[in-house]
Amino acid sequence: MSVETAQRSEVYVAMARSWLLVPAVGSEVLAAAAASGADSLIIDLEDGLPFAAKVEGRACTAEWLARNAGWVRINDATTPHWQRDLDALRGLPGLRGLMLSKTEAPEQVRDTAEKISGVPVVALVESAASIVAVDDIARTAPVCRLAFGIGDYCRDTGAGRTPMALAYARSRLVNASRAARIGAPIDGPTLSRDAEVIRDDTRLAREMGMTGRLTLASDQVPVINTALAPDVDDISWAETTIERLGADGSRVTHGGHLPQLARAHDILRRADHFASRA
């Protein structure tokens, strides 16, 4: 992979909005998911498969990644399935990255990277222990983003799924990501299939500083992609701000202007990126 290609891939991963989790149960299922418009397809070898189906799931994944691209959610490092997953994935040309389930320590990331080098890792934060260690996890190469496993986190902590109950955990992911200079975190999935509920949950994630979302359903993808892309009002504000302050900041007159200008440039950069994928 050339440096230019690697840089484009890094930018794409950092901006990806919809992360569609699909169990490895057949090429037709994966092909339909790949056609959904999701920014990232994640073939699921963990919770999406019962134990009895994991061998067949690995074979399905290997067959897909021999000819197509995708990410893979592997089992957590405390289980024997983790090593078996990595053995099955090593050397596959279509492997774009790994989503490491139930990441609770930097060592789990490093051990994973030693087994399969050269691919980015999204660390799934799914427990109280994960939240406590999240700053160190975010700083551990090759972690490129954090993702919030809401269901397991609520089970582990006894927290509800309300915005207030999950605000602390979401904020920890956002701040850890920014401090580590990696992409903004990926929020957990909405279980409802109601488009308004999905839209509201996605707007909440965006308000918290998250720029991606996990989803278990392909029909949620367009709602998530739209809600996490700059809208007409965002773009209008950005263009007006840049015109007023100068693209290079030549008309900045007080300290509040520079953060506004940086945000305006970021909005237009994201808008251009997503427009190129439309």
209/266 same-domain check: no
Write down which residue in 192, 211, 228 finishes a domain: 228
Write down which residue in 192, 208, 228 finishes a domain: 228
Taking only the tens place, the pLDDT of each residue in 139-195 is: 999 999 999 999 999 999 999 999 999 999 999 999 999 999 999 999 999 999 999
253/207 same-domain check: no
139/277 same-domain check: no
Instruction: Check residues 10 and 23 and name the one with the higher pLDDT.
Output: 23
155/269 same-domain check: no
210/110 same-domain check: yes
Rounded Cα gap, residues 32 and 68, in angstroms = 13
Instruction: Say if residue 242's pLDDT is above 70.
Output: yes
167/252 same-domain check: no
Sequence-distant (≥ 6) Cβ neighbours of residue 235 within 8 angstroms:
267, 268, 271
For residues 22-32, give the mean pLDDT: 96
For residues 199-205, give the mean pLDDT: 97
The reply to whether the predicted model has a pTM over 0.85 is: yes
Rounded Cα gap, residues 126 and 152, in angstroms = 5
155/18 same-domain check: yes
141/23 same-domain check: yes
For residues 65-80, give the mean pLDDT: 96
What is the residue range of 276's domain?
230-278
Per-residue pLDDT, 277: 66
Polymer length of the chain:
278
**Where does the pLDDT of residue 262 fall: very low under 50, low under 70, confident under 90, or very high at 90 and above?**
confident
245/224 same-domain check: no
95/137 same-domain check: yes
Instruction: Tell me if 88 sits within 8 A of 114, measured CB to CB.
Output: no
Instruction: Say if residue 11's pLDDT is above 90.
Output: no
131/247 same-domain check: no
For residues 3-29, give the mean pLDDT: 77
Write down which residue in 211, 228, 245 finishes a domain: 228
